[in-house]
């Protein structure tokens, strides 16, 4: 981080990430303790180095199970909020849905990236920033 790296992706490298089988046991005994240690260490390190106020940290998976508070840390983002509501089983959004485009547009906004601009990829392909629905 302090060497000028602007974007880092961290992914679990071995195949025990899947929790379709023995979900609660795997989450409780393997996945969540490991995640908790790594994520909290990252936030503490960024904070101690004075970098958290200018760094956005987003933690997400490839799909969701049920809506829970998913904090986004740093870069003027207020974390720890539920937005909208779901049905009684938390299986369907009832109001105020948030799309992946909303999430990415928020991240772009915090990084001062113009969501209305068309960018060029390294191979000169046009790439539009995500826009909010209706925007």
**Residue 16 structure tokens:** 């025990």
**What is the full per-residue pLDDT of the chain (135 aa) written as tens digits?**
567 777 777 766 665 666 777 877 888 888 888 888 888 998 999 999 998 888 888 877 655 555 454 555 666 666 666 667 778 877 778 887 777 788 888 888 888 888 888 888 888 888 776 655 444
Q: Cα–chain-centroid distance for residue 75?
A: 13
- Give the pLDDT of residue 125: 81
Q: Which residues touch 22 (CB under 8 Å, ≥6 apart)?
A: none
- Give the pLDDT of residue 50: 92
Report the DSSP beta bridge partners of residue 95. Answer: 85
């Amino acid at each position: 981080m302090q060497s000028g790296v602007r974007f880092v992706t961290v992914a679990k490298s071995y195949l025990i990430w899947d929790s379709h089988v023995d979900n609660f046991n795997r989450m409780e005994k393997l996945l969540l303790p490991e995640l908790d240690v790594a994520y909290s260490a990252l936030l503490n390190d960024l904070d101690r180095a004075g970098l958290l106020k200018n760094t956005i940290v987003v933690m997400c998976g490839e799909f969701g199970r049920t809506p829970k508070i998913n904090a986004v840390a740093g870069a003027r983002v207020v974390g720890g909020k539920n937005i909208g509501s779901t049905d009684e089983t938390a299986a369907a959004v009832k109001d105020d849905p948030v799309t992946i485009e909303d999430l990415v547009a928020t991240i772009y906004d915090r990084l001062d990236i113009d969501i209305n601009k068309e960018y060029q990829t390294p191979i000169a392909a046009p790439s539009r920033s995500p826009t909010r629905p209706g925007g």
